[in-house]
A = this chain, B = another copy of it.
Amino acid sequence: MFQNSEESRTSLSEYGEFGLIDHLTSGFPINRESTVKGIGDDAAVIDHKDLQTVVTTDLLVEGVHFDLSYMPLKHLGYKAVMVNLSDVYAMNATPEQITVSFAVSNRFPVEALEELYSGIALAAKIYNVDVVGGDTSSSTSGLIISITALGSAKKEDIVYRSGAKVNDLLVVTGDLGAAYMGLQVLEREKQVFKVNPQSQPDLEPYTYLVERQLKPEARRDIPGLFKALDLKPTSMIDISDGLSSETIHLCKNSKTGVNLYEEKIPLDPAVISVCEEFQLDSTTIALNGGEDYELLFTVAQSDFDKIKGNPNFTIIGHMTEENERMHLITRANQKIELIARGWNAMGKED
């Protein structure tokens, strides 16, 4: 951790003009029936038959979205794919193909990019998506990764942000705030390391939090679970920026208000204890922390029986009339207006 490996370095220039992407992508298999042509032509070719295609894209910038002093490149590659796939699952669709582009400065040896790609390849394998294209460029500073994911779903299965109705239940998968607190732990250790490079951080008590930050998993299980439960959410979004801003997105797109209950927000015990250690309010962290990559969705009240008692789901509120606005109901039963304070430096639309 925090150490610069100098074992083997191959200069990017050794691969020449056209060799690098071939080198990096030669290991990517084609698995999906819909992938007619992957890497190696002007464009990939995808056969969709009677399904609808969803497409989503994310840009990850060094110094903004990740810090390589504690983010191993393999994890970064894996996470970059998760960020995209999470958006596809949030449409209740199945991801099928991704393209991966990056710009990189010459300070990165080829081995570093191989590490990055090994994480991308691992994610593609586990989540059964094909890497079908991309572009590489030098950069004047740092590493930038751009991933676009294509997914498919039957028209009638796609869930938008805009379908929530008044009285629908607001439901979230998993638990919230852990990825953000993992980042806080890593940032603290980085500062300790700067002062004393000999220190050996004991991250064991923070394993869950650090894993949520460094190796998040997209909720691929949820669309299948909906199918098994014969349940179609009325609206859905993934939690990349924080529960608060995502809830606001659902409300604005659906033209509803919301009552969100503080006491219902699912928190892992590790989040609660590390929030105490850092003297942070765990509700604030869950609302604004982001990077949890859980799914937030609404279901009709009549579907309550399908989700009650399911350990994957927590009902955290219900939708109200638009003119009742968006509120957090605190443990003290106070109504506080919901505001978006995500972690990103700038906006993104998906």
Residues of A within 8 A of B (CB): 12, 15-22, 25, 36-37, 39-65, 87-88, 90-91, 93, 97, 99, 101-103, 132-142, 144, 146, 148-151, 155, 158, 160-162, 236-238, 241, 245, 253, 340-342, 344-350
* Closest Cβ–Cβ distance, residue A69 to chain B (whole Å): 14
Among B103, B139, B346, the residue within 8 A (CB) of A17 is B346
Given contacts A43-B55, A53-B47, contact A140 B346 (CB under 8 A): no
Most buried by B among A17, A41, A241: A41
Among B25, B48, B57, B137, the residue within 8 A (CB) of A148 is B57
Residue of B nearest to A37 (CB): B160
Residue of B nearest to A93 (CB): B43
Query: Are B346's CB and A55's CB within 8 A?
Result: no
Q: Which residues of B contact A25 (CB under 8 A)?
A: 349
Query: Are B43's CB and A151's CB within 8 A?
Result: yes
In the assembly, how many copies of this chain are there?
2
Query: Are A46's CB and B56's CB within 8 A?
Result: no
A167 to B18, CA, bound (A): 27
Binding site of A, secondary structure by majority: helix, strand, loop or mixed?
Answer: mixed
* Closest Cβ–Cβ distance, residue A195 to chain B (whole Å): 24
Query: Are B21's CB and A349's CB within 8 A?
Result: yes
Query: Are B101's CB and A57's CB within 8 A?
Result: yes
Q: Besides the contacts A59-B136, A135-B348, what 9 more A-B pairs have beta carbons closer than 8 Å?
A: A15-B347, A17-B340, A18-B348, A42-B87, A55-B148, A56-B99, A56-B133, A57-B101, A57-B133
Query: Are B39's CB and A52's CB within 8 A?
Result: no
Q: Which residues of B contact A149 (CB under 8 A)?
A: 43
Query: Are B57's CB and A99's CB within 8 A?
Result: yes
20 A-B residue pairs with Cβ-Cβ distance under 8 Å, sorted by A, are A12-B346, A41-B91, A41-B162, A41-B253, A42-B88, A45-B55, A45-B158, A46-B54, A47-B53, A53-B53, A53-B150, A55-B99, A59-B137, A61-B139, A61-B144, A135-B348, A135-B349, A137-B345, A137-B348, A146-B146
Q: Which residues of B contact A87 (CB under 8 A)?
A: 42-43
Query: Are B12's CB and A42's CB within 8 A?
Result: no
Query: Are A42's CB and B140's CB within 8 A?
Result: no
Query: Are B55's CB and A150's CB within 8 A?
Result: yes
Query: Are B97's CB and A55's CB within 8 A?
Result: yes
A136 to B47, CA, bound (A): 29
Q: Which residues of B contact A56 (CB under 8 A)?
A: 42-44, 99, 133
Query: Are B44's CB and A137's CB within 8 A?
Result: no
